[in-house]
């Protein structure tokens, strides 16, 4: 089975990409995307040279300057892993020398953009200036000078209000730009002026340099106390508040600047306990709220443990109180910032891993394995991971969660021939047969959808297709994740898309992810896919999967309409070593429970439940609660308020509540 090993040397990786992509333009683009995503710039240079020699310079140029997408030179300019030498190499294949060339490769604005925002015809100068801004973002002065040497203007400001200053992240870079006359008054439609963003982010260091170069701070609407808190030292603030001659400052403790913030919120954002104490003693309201955000939100932004301890010690403050919009807590905020120090502090202070905001829970919000482990150590259940979080935990490329973590470039690891032979799901004839192929590994790593993979490999689809025209994939809802004591992780079933979509499919397979052995020099996980006959394990989604001894007990299912049996609860057991599945025949205690579709009737088991929770409460005993159920033949889905217990060895259900 072919594995795409990105640990190879630059020359070897370029040769592998050349072999896998061949002369197919779409696959060549995947190869370029992969090398960019892996930040393998020297390998990319070697690949483009090989493509140019094999298919001609025009092909290499089309890859370096893709129409409607960022140029490789711009991508390399913003990436800290690239250098000015990288830009020299890429210029060979991806340079714009005229306005006509700029127009030829520019993205065509959507109609709504053309009707809403000013649209300036693309030009070579705009393209140069965009490259310079990308270099500023990398904080590499050498790359900024490179673009200036090519003709980029550090003093530019385009029709969108974009200029170089807005991309600066460090004092050194900002100083270099301002010294050369870069404008400070650009106003972008999406985030305003540079000083507005710097003030929102609490960047007093950058604001000080802007002030030194004469920037106008009027738009901030600061009172003198705001400016003192942000720009002054703690000693300056303490002295001013104690000075009778500056008594007017005390009248500004609750003053709101143009964005609605009071001075103490800036002290909290800086995490300066001395400033916070000085303001509190002077009478500042520590319970002040800004757009549903308490002072604790700004303390969390500071990432300063001492400031967080100060906040938690304030009267009336509770560690699990809502501090931000959409029901966010201090712990959720710290997790979203991947701030391990504050997360450890908050958990030690009693923060709950089970409290959920309106959009997410702490474990769902985690973006690193270290944070996920910390939360699980404090009781967060692995099955609370969402699809993006599961990919983080499983060591898979995870990309942008708003794009469903899709990484299409990993499809390069599967050839068109392999795709044609292996892309349909298999209902196998053997219980737990390993069907893993290069196609399956590529789809697991890419997380591409059925539609996306079909497009990538040129497979035409329509609403008239049979189910077996479906493309197997791991972009699923209702798929369980179970972590085994030996480190392996098991994912079971799940559904892709909704029932009205031609790509809708409910799976009955099992994916086993095995992490690299401790001390191994190969960091790659092993991924295996196991298939089952439908009469051994039917398509299953939105179930629970609980480790019980040497088996994972699979309870419940939403399933297809034709497989639903109101009143019955499907239960299956997956052996964690043989990977074989068996059905558990269950019996109930005969207690009666209310039916939403008629009079009371015998309830020997929970019924057709899904989306519930399950926990092992004693050896061989699993408790289930919450979720939904389908009480009758109408198919109506209702909340399921009950709590039941399954004794696995006997298969006996008992209702608890």
* pLDDT tens digit sequence for 151-170: 999 999 987 888 999 999 99
Window from 191-200, 277-286, 474-483, 586-595 with minimum mean pLDDT: 586-595
Residue 101 predicted with pLDDT over 70: yes
Whole-angstrom distance, CA of residue 400 vs CA of residue 428: 34
Confidence band for 521, pLDDT divided at 50, 70 and 90: confident
Whole-angstrom distance, CA of residue 306 vs CA of residue 234: 15
Whole-angstrom distance, CA of residue 137 vs CA of residue 134: 5
Q: What pLDDT, on the 0 to 100 scale, is given for residue 218?
A: 93
Please state, for a pLDDT cut of 70, what percent of the chain lies above it.
95
Residue 593 predicted with pLDDT over 50: no
Average pLDDT over residues 417-446: 91
Highest CATH level, class, for 542-657 = mainly beta
Q: What is the per-residue pLDDT across 9-32, written as a single tens digit (0 to 9) for each?
A: 999 999 999 999 999 999 999 999
**pTM to 2 decimals?**
0.88
Q: What pLDDT, on the 0 to 100 scale, is given for residue 600?
A: 42
Confidence band for 568, pLDDT divided at 50, 70 and 90: very high
Q: What pLDDT, on the 0 to 100 scale, is given for residue 591?
A: 46
CB neighbour burial string for 299-311, b if at least 16 within 10 angstroms, e if fewer? bbbbebeebbebb
DSSP 38-104: TT-HHHHHHHHHHHHHHH-HHHHHHHHS-TTS--HHHHHHH-TT--HHHHHHHHTTS---SHHHHHH
Whole-angstrom distance, CA of residue 556 vs CA of residue 26: 42
Q: How crowded is residue 70: how many other Cβ atoms within 10 Å of its Cβ?
A: 15
Average pLDDT over residues 389-411: 79
Q: What is the per-residue pLDDT across 334-381, written as a single tens digit (0 to 9) for each?
A: 999 999 999 999 999 999 999 999 999 999 999 999 999 999 999 998
Between strands 505-506 and 495-496, the pairing is antiparallel
Whole-angstrom distance, CA of residue 584 vs CA of residue 563: 17
Q: What is the per-residue pLDDT across 32-86, written as a single tens digit (0 to 9) for each?
A: 999 999 999 999 999 999 999 999 999 999 999 999 999 999 999 999 999 999 9
Average pLDDT over residues 489-508: 92
DSSP 395-412: T-----GGGTT--GGGGG
Q: Which CATH architecture has domain 221-317?
A: Alpha Horseshoe (1.25)
Between strands 628-630 and 638-639, the pairing is antiparallel
The structural domains of the chain, with segments of one domain joined by +, span: 10-188, 221-317, 542-657
Q: Which of 476, 547, 466, 469 lies closest to 507 in space, CA to CA?
A: 476
Domains 10-188 and 221-317 share a fold: yes
Q: What pLDDT, on the 0 to 100 scale, is given for residue 463?
A: 56
Confidence band for 465, pLDDT divided at 50, 70 and 90: low
Whole-angstrom distance, CA of residue 64 vs CA of residue 396: 27
Q: What pLDDT, on the 0 to 100 scale, is given for residue 618?
A: 98
Q: What is the per-residue pLDDT across 571-592, written as a single tens digit (0 to 9) for each?
A: 999 999 999 999 999 986 544 4
C-alpha distances in angstroms, 99 versus 87, 123, 125, 274?
A: 21, 4, 8, 56
Q: What pLDDT, on the 0 to 100 scale, is given for residue 470?
A: 85
Confidence band for 121, pLDDT divided at 50, 70 and 90: confident
Whole-angstrom distance, CA of residue 131 vs CA of residue 150: 10
Which segments within 175-295 are labelled E, that is strand?
Answer: 187-188, 192-193, 289-290, 293-294
Q: Which CATH architecture has domain 10-188?
A: Alpha Horseshoe (1.25)
Mean pLDDT rounded to a whole number for the chain:
92
C-beta separation of 130 from 164 below 8 A: no
Spell out the SS3 assignment of 220-232. HCCCHHHHHHHHC
Q: What is the per-residue pLDDT across 178-210, written as a single tens digit (0 to 9) for each?
A: 999 999 988 887 888 999 999 999 999 999 999
């Amino acid at each position: 089975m072919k594995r795409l090993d990105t640990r190879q040397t630059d020359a070897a990786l370029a040769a592998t990409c050349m072999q896998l992509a061949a002369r197919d333009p779409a696959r060549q683009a995947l190869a370029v995307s992969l090398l960019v995503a892996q930040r393998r710039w020297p390998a990319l240079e070697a690949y483009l040279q090989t493509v140019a020699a094999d298919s001609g310079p025009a092909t290499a140029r089309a890859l370096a300057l893709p129409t409607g997408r960022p140029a490789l030179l711009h991508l390399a300019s913003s990436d800290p892993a690239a250098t000015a030498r990288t830009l020299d190499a890429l210029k060979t294949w991806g340079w714009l020398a005229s306005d006509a060339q700029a127009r030829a490769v520019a993205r065509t604005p959507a109609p709504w953009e053309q009707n809403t925002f000013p649209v300036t015809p693309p030009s070579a100068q705009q393209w140069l200036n965009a490259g310079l801004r990308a270099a500023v973002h990398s904080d590499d002065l050498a790359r900024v000078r490179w673009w200036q040497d090519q003709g980029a203007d550090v003093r530019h400001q385009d029709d969108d209000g974009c200029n170089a200053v807005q991309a600066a992240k460090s004092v050194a870079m900002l100083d270099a730009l301002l010294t050369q006359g870069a404008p400070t008054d650009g106003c972008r439609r999406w985030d305003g002026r540079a000083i507005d963003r710097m003030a929102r982010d609490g960047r007093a260091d950058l604001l000080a340099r802007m002030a030194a170069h004469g920037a106008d701070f009027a738009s901030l609407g600061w009172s003198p106390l705001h400016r003192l808190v942000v720009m002054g030292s703690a000693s300056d603030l303490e002295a001013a508040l104690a000075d009778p001659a500056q008594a007017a400052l005390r009248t500004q403790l609750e003053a709101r600047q143009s964005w609605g913030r009071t001075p103490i919120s800036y002290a909290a954002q800086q995490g300066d306990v001395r400033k916070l104490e000085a303001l509190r003693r002077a009478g500042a309201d520590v319970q002040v709220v800004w757009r549903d955000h308490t002072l604790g939100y700004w303390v969390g932004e500071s990432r300063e443990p001492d400031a967080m301890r100060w906040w938690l010690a304030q009267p009336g403050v509770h560690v699990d109180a809502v501090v931000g919009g959409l029901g966010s807590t201090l712990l959720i905020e710290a997790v979203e910032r991947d701030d391990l120090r504050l997360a450890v502090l908050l958990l030690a202070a009693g923060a709950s891993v089970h409290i959920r905001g309106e959009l997410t829970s702490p474990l769902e919000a985690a973006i690193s394995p270290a944070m996920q482990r910390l939360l699980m150590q404090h009781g967060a259940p692995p099955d609370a991971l969402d699809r993006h979080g599961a990919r983080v935990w499983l060591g898979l490329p995870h990309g942008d969660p708003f794009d469903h973590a899709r990484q299409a470039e990993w499809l390069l690891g599967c050839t068109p021939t392999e795709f044609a032979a292996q892309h349909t799901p298999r209902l196998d004839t053997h219980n737990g047969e390993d069907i893993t192929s290069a196609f399956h590994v590529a789809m697991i790593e890419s997380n591409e959808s059925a539609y996306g993979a079909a497009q990538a490999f040129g497979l035409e689809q329509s609403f008239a297709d049979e189910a077996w025209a479906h493309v197997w994939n791991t972009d699923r809802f209702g798929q369980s994740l179970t972590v085994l004591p030996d480190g392996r992780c098991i994912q079971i079933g799940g559904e892709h898309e909704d029932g009205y979509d031609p790509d809708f499919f409910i799976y009955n397979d099992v994916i086993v992810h095995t992490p690299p052995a401790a001390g191994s020099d190969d960091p790659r996980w092993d991924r295996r896919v196991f298939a089952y006959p439908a009469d051994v394990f039917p398509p299953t989604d939105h179930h629970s999967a609980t480790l019980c001894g040497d088996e994972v007990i699979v309870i419940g299912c939403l399933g297809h309409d034709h497989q639903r049996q109101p009143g019955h609860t499907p239960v299956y057991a997956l052996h964690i070593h043989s990977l074989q599945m068996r059905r558990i025949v269950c019996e109930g205690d005969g207690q009666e429970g209310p039916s939403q579709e008629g009079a009371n009737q015998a309830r020997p088991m929970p019924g057709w439940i899904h989306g519930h929770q399950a926990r092992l409460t004693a050896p061989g005993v699993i408790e289930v609660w919450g979720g939904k159920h389908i009480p009758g033949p109408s198919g109506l889905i209702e909340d399921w308020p009950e709590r039941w217990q399954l004794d696995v060895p006997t298969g006996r259900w008992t209702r608890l509540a």
